[in-house]
Structure 1
C-alpha cells in the first residue's frame, strides 16, 4: 500500500539587496602585532564571525587565530544593514576584503619610512614589511610600535561597501519519498542537494547551513501548520501541536557544492543563507505528484490533504 517516488526542484535566490544593503568593516593593527576586526553584522548562528575572520586572515596572509573579531555593537561597530537578505558573506565580506587591502597599503607606507625607502620598493609578507631588494624587513610588532610615536598614517581602516548587483546562488534539490496510500503519510527517504554559492569560503559551515535549511524546508512542506479559531486564537500554540521535523524524520541528507567564481564577491563568493530552504517544498510536491498524479498546491502538504485529494482508482 505504499508508493516510492522521486521529485526534483531548482531554485535561485539573491546575494543581498542590490543598491540598498551596506556592509562595513573596521580592521586595526594592535600594538602586539595582532589584528582586530570590528563588524556590524550579527552572527545568528551562520558563522559569519568565523567566515569574515577567515577572509581577513587570507588578505593579511596570517593565521585566522591572529584576527580578533568584535561582533555587532550599535554603539561601536561601523554601520551595517544587518544579517538579512543573504548579504553578510557577499556584502560585508567585500567590505572586509577592501579594508584589509587598504590597511596593507598603510602598513607598507609606514614600513617604507622605517626602512628609509619608497613604498614601491617594499612588499607586505604577512609577518611584516620587506624590501624587494636587499631583504631588509620590519615586523608587524615594530610597525605597531612605530605607529604610536610621530606617525601620521592610520593603522586602523574602516571601509563600507554596497553592491549594485545581487548575483544569484543556485540550488537543485532531489528527494525520494515513500507515500502511504491508506493514510496519505509521506516519509522522506533520501534528499540530495547541490548548491552553487560561488567560491565556498568555509565548507563545514556551508554544509550545515544547507542541511539546516533543507530540514526547515521539509518542515514547512510537510509539518508546520498554523490554524486560527474564529476568535483569532492559534490552535498550534506549543510544540505539542506545532510539529517540526526531528532528526528521525529526515532520512538521509546529502549535500554537495558546485563551485563557481563570482567576480563581484569576496574571493568569488555568493550567498547561501536563504537559497537552501527553497527546494524542499517544490521537490516534495513533485514527488507526491509522481506518486499520485495530483499536484499539492497548499503548504503544509499534510497526510489529510494528500489523502483527501487521492483519486479513487489509486
Structure 2
C-alpha cells in the first residue's frame, strides 16, 4: 500500500507454445550460385517484420562459409518461389530454417561435382571448405567464381539446390513473465512499472532480432490486457473503428521491459533453434491479471481489464 490510494503488486505468468504445426507445415527454399560467386536464396516465407529474410540469409552464410552480404534474398512470390505453408504458427525459423540447412548441404555436393569435371577427378575427392572447393590429396582448389564459370561451359549440373522440410515434432519454447504494477483504487487505472521476462527459444539465431520480437510481443500483450477493447452499437457498428478510439499502448504505458534468454539446444531445429514468434505475447495477460488480483482480491476472467471493471468488481466470496 503506497498510502495515497494506490497499491503496488506483482504477478507471474508461465507459458509454452510450439514450433510450427508438426506433420503439417512445410518450408521450401532454393539456393543457387551466382556468376560472381555470391548466392541467391529464393524463399516462399514472407517476412512480416520478424526478420526471417535476415535470419535465413545468416543460416546460408554460416553453412556456406561466406558473409551475409554475399547472400541475396528473393522474397515470397508465388509465381517463382518454392512452396511454403506461410509465416504463421511460429514456424519460419524452425521449419524453413531446416530447409535452408538441407539445401546448403545439397548445394555443396553439387558444387563439388561441377568442380570435379574441371579438375578431372572424382567428386568424392573434393570437399567444400572456407567458401571454396578443395582437393586435399593434391592441394588443388577452385574458387566459387571459377566453379560458377565452369557451370556455364560444357556442364550438365545446375549450380543450385531446392529442399523442403516438414517436422514430425513441434518442440515448445518456454517463457516466464513477471509484471509489477501500480493500481489506483479510486479510478481503477493500472500502470505497468516493470516487466521482466526470460525466454527459452533454443539457440537464438539472431539475438538482437529475438530480443526486439520479445519486447514487441510483450507490448502487444500489455495492450490487449489493459486497453484494447472492441464494443458495438445496437446496430452492430464497431465503436472503436479508428486509432482515435481504439486504444493502443505507447512507450509511456509499458514501463521498463527486460528480456533475458535461457539457451537450450533443440536437436531437431537449425543450429539448435526453436520458435519465438508467438510465445512472447502469452505471459503479460496472466502476469498482470494475477498482479491485479493481489492488489484487489478479484480475479478477472475476461480481457481487457479496463479501469471501470476494476472499480465495479467485487471480491469473490
Map Cα deviations across residues 249-300 of structure 1 (whole Å, 9 max, x no partner).
Answer: 1110000111111111111111111111000000000111111111111100
Q: Give the C-alpha shift of residue 134 in structure 1.
A: 2.9
Q: What TM-score do you get using the length of structure 2 for normalisation?
A: 0.96
Is 2:64–2:131's contact at 8 Å kept on the other side of the alignment? no
TM-score by length of 1: 0.97
Structure 2 gap ranges (5+): none
Determine which of 195, 205, 215 is the counterpart of 1:211. 215
Query: Counterpart in 2 of 1:121?
Result: 125
**Alpha-carbon distance between aligned partners in 2 of 1:21 and 1:76, rounded to the nearest angstrom:** 20
* 1:294 maps to 2:298: yes
Deviations 1:72-117 (A, max 9, x none): 0010000111111111101111111100110001111222332232
2:235 equivalent in structure 1: 231
RMSD: 1.2
Match of 1:58 in 2: 62
Q: CA deviation at 1:152?
A: 1.8
Q: Residues of 1 paired with 2:108 and 2:98: CA distance?
A: 15
Q: Secondary structure at the match of 1:256?
A: strand
Secondary structure at the residue paired with 2:304? coil
Unpaired runs of 5+ residues, structure 1, are: none
Alpha-carbon contact 2:204-2:273 (below 8 Å) kept:
yes
Q: Distance in 2 between matches of 1:121 and 1:289?
A: 69
Residue 17 in 1 paired to residue 21 in 2? yes
Counterpart CA distance in 1 for 2:280 and 2:314 is 30
- Counterpart for residue 170 of structure 1: 174
The answer to whether the Cα contact below 8 Å between 2:115 and 2:150 also exists between their aligned partners in 1 is: no
* Superposed CA offset, 1:57-83 (max 9, x none): 101011100001000001000011111
Partner of 1:103: 107
Distance 2:179 2:139 in 1: 59
Shift of residue 31 of structure 1? 1.1
Show the counterpart of 1:186.
Answer: 190
- Aligned twin of 2:311: 307
Q: Secondary structure at the match of 2:124?
A: helix
How far apart are 1:126 and its partner, in Å?
3.0
> Residue in 1 aligned with 2:205?
201
What is aligned with 1:158? 162
Counterpart residue number, 2:281:
277
What is the count of residue pairs matched by the alignment?
312
Q: What CA distance in whole angstroms lies between the structure 2 residues aligned with 1:126 and 1:145? A: 19
Query: Within 1, Cα distance between the matches of 2:255 and 2:13?
Result: 18
Which stretches of structure 1, 4 residues or more, deviate above 4 A after TM superposition? none
| Higher mean C-alpha deviation, range 118-127 or range 254-263 | 118-127
